[in-house]
Structure 1
Amino acid sequence: MNIQAHPWQPTADLANIKLRSRVLWNLRDFFHSQGFAEVQTPVLSRDTVVDRHIDPISLPGNAVSVAELSDDTFYLQTSPEFCMKRMLAAGFDNIYQIAQVFRSGERGSYHNPEFTMVEWYRVGDDLSAAVDLLSQLLQTVIPDCQPTRQSYRDAFLQYVGRCPLDCSVAELSTAALAHNLAVGANWSSDRDDWLNLLFSEVVQPRLGQVHPAIIFDYPASQSALAQLSSEDDRVAQRFELFIAGIELANGYNELLDATELSSR
């Protein structure tokens, strides 16, 4: 059917809409079976995102047409994280949310200004328990799914040939040039810039091509909100999920020390 001739029709395929409905049903069924409570937090709020790399969509207070709010600024939430953490601080334990979220400047093959995010928290979990829960969720939603697990270090060694925890900026620069990345040898003096470049351009496209891949133990310098590993303080208890080279989930064992968080 010609969509251009019928602009009133949804752009999503009917089969995909039905598939999405089944996935959402399975998600809710999974979380409820694990003892989670579903919550719903504000989409429009005076609070905004704390991540400097994410831009929110703002709304002037006078657009709300309430006199006492006319001088305020409101924000469409980029994730339900802040509001859900307030709930955790108030005494909730296992909570999840399927939320509509919004981000300014997000437009492309894999991004949209508005999208659906699933966010969950379970008090008391360590990294291993969090990764186990993610694996169980995947196996519930995706038939015959067998997620793999690999440390950031091992994935970097496998595809880049350098240890990301020990190598110098010069070694990372050499590796980038060897992989024909379009940067100069002196592109940056920051190790994390080189790590991010090599991971996103060399490692990530190879992840999750056969089975979903969970990468864990990210460098501490890239995990400001996560607790450090008790076995190696060069890495933090952070993990990400990749399917067909696309990052679909990000999690970590939350840092609870306010003094340490401030120093980072």
Structure 2
Amino acid sequence: MTADAAASPWWDESVHADRRPFLMARGRVVAAVRAYFADEDFVEVETPVLQFSPGNEAHLHAFATQWHAPEGGAFPYYLRTSPEFAAKKLLAAGETRIFEIARVFRDRERGRAHHPEFTMLEWYRANASYEALMADCARLLGLAAIAGSVAAFSYRGKTCDPFAAPERLTLAEAFGLHAGIDLLRFLAEPGEEPEPAPFAQAAQEAGIRVAADDTWADIFSRVLVERIEPHLGEGRATLLCEYPTSEAALARPKPSDPRVAERFELYACGLELANAFGELTDPQEQRRRFEVEMAEKQRLYGERYPIDEGFLAALARMPPASGSALGLDRLVLLASGARRIEDVLWAPVE
């Protein structure tokens, strides 16, 4: 794309002509995704964009709006950041395999791989382990590459074979390998919050910048971003798994070590594509975690989001399940050879 074209709006004919091959690839990838889940006996669902609660994670930011009732009164609502709460209510209602290609919205996000409105592929398997979702992710990478007519993914100087079996790496292994930190030493027991001071010292000894007011989560995120993520998904995809339970607010603890959770993230070419859980179904523990997250949100941003009591009630009826959310635009970006997320959106937010 020329400099003049880059300065033109997305609806300029020449700009659209440059983007159109990526958009055609998008259509083929979406069709391949739907075909995969149909073959796996999934039901495609549609859940509301308007939500009473947009989620209860400290660093998740939602767009707020209002509903004006016909009989009078204005009620606060949010544009969904994920279809997760509604999807789990459907599991409680009796559905066992569901997926949604959902438009979702997140404030404070825009960049080469972020957009304030984007498309999330979210799917759930009742009575299935989260390893089943790892297999789904591996299959989706290959199917997307075939649909996009690429033999390999390439992004910002990194390449990845979408047909190779992904590497599986725990957070403890990754911290030891790439940062020289024994992560397990600094994890808290179930129901407790980890202490930041000893973790901060270990991070400083590893050459990581630490501020005096950093929380444990701040330090964890900085090590992850600076030392771990640059090495993930190069050559082949990476399944980064067994996150600290304190960093997996909606995931169930691993039975053999409840300090870590059944959570994994999928990476290709250093780009995070998916976030998956063995789902937590204990409403009391879920409430406790939400309250911790909202206290942190209040401290950092001066606001908090309401807790969806219906969601907590549904958890008590929900079967054991595993679920994953995958950034469909990012997958299309890799499968089409595009350079940035706006290249694969039919009409980016202006």
Identify the match of residue 68 of structure 1 among 71, 79, 90. 71
Partner deviation per Cα, 1:218-263 (whole Å, 9 max, x = no partner): 1122123211112222211111011222211101101112233334
Shift in Å, 1:155: 1.2
Query: What is residue 253 of structure 1 aligned with on the other side?
Result: 278
Does residue 173 of structure 2 align to residue 183 of structure 1?
no
Report if aligned partners of 2:60, 2:106 keep a CA contact under 8 Å in 1. Answer: yes
Structure 2 residue identity aligned to 1:203: I
Report if aligned partners of 1:208, 1:243 keep a CA contact under 8 Å in 2. Answer: yes
Structure 1 segment 72-221 matched on structure 2, within 5 A: 72-143=75-146, 144-146=162-164, 147-167=166-186, 172-177=199-204, 180-184=207-211, 186=212, 188=214, 190-221=215-246
State the secondary structure of the residue aligned to 1:225.
coil
Partners in 2 of 1:86 and 1:208 — Cα distance? 33
Partners in 2 of 1:52 and 1:191 — Cα distance? 14
Partners in 2 of 1:93 and 1:258 — Cα distance? 20
Number of equivalent positions:
259
Shift in Å, 1:74: 2.9
State the secondary structure of the residue aligned to 2:74.
coil
1 or 2 for the larger relative contact order (CA 8 Å, sep ≥6)? 2
Shift in Å, 1:27: 0.6
Give unmatched runs, 5+ long, in structure 2: 147-161, 187-194, 290-350
TM-score normalised by L of structure 1: 0.87
Does residue 53 of structure 2 align to residue 34 of structure 1?
no
State the secondary structure of the residue aligned to 1:83.
helix
Shift in Å, 1:203: 0.5
Identify the match of residue 239 of structure 1 among 254, 257, 264. 264
Q: Which 10-residue stretch deviates more, 147-156 or 1-10? A: 1-10
Report if aligned partners of 2:57, 2:249 keep a CA contact under 8 Å in 1. Answer: no
Does residue 22 of structure 2 align to residue 22 of structure 1?
no
Report if aligned partners of 1:60, 1:70 keep a CA contact under 8 Å in 2. Answer: no
Partners in 2 of 1:229 and 1:134 — Cα distance? 20
Partner deviation per Cα, 1:96-125 (whole Å, 9 max, x = no partner): 011111111212222111011100001011
User: How large is the RMSD of aligned CA atoms in angstroms?
Assistant: 2.4
Kindly tell me: are residues 69 and 180 of structure 1, through their superposed partners in 2, closer, same or farther at Cα, counting changes over 3 Å?
farther
Kindly tell me: are residues 86 and 199 of structure 1, through their superposed partners in 2, closer, same or farther at Cα, counting changes over 3 Å?
same
Calculate percent identity across the aligned residue pairs: 34
Kindly tell me: are residues 61 and 256 of structure 1, through their superposed partners in 2, closer, same or farther at Cα, counting changes over 3 Å?
closer
Does residue 63 of structure 2 align to residue 57 of structure 1?
yes
Structure 2 residue identity aligned to 1:36: F
TM-score normalised by L of structure 2: 0.67
Q: Which 10-residue stretch deviates more, 220-229 or 164-173? A: 164-173
Kindly tell me: are residues 69 and 91 of structure 1, through their superposed partners in 2, closer, same or farther at Cα, counting changes over 3 Å?
farther
Partner deviation per Cα, 1:60-109 (whole Å, 9 max, x = no partner): 335xxx63365122322111111111211111110001111111121222
State the secondary structure of the residue aligned to 1:112.
coil
Partners in 1 of 2:88 and 2:240 — Cα distance? 24
Partners in 2 of 1:5 and 1:97 — Cα distance? 33
Report if aligned partners of 2:141, 2:163 keep a CA contact under 8 Å in 1. Answer: yes
More helix by share: 2
Structure 2 residue identity aligned to 1:21: G
Report if aligned partners of 2:79, 2:105 keep a CA contact under 8 Å in 1. Answer: yes
Partners in 2 of 1:5 and 1:236 — Cα distance? 46
Partner deviation per Cα, 1:156-213 (whole Å, 9 max, x = no partner): 11101111111485664355445544435x453x433322211111101111122111
Structure 1 residue identity aligned to 2:168: R
Report if aligned partners of 2:180, 2:206 keep a CA contact under 8 Å in 1. Answer: no
Q: Which 10-residue stretch deviates more, 78-87 or 161-170? A: 161-170
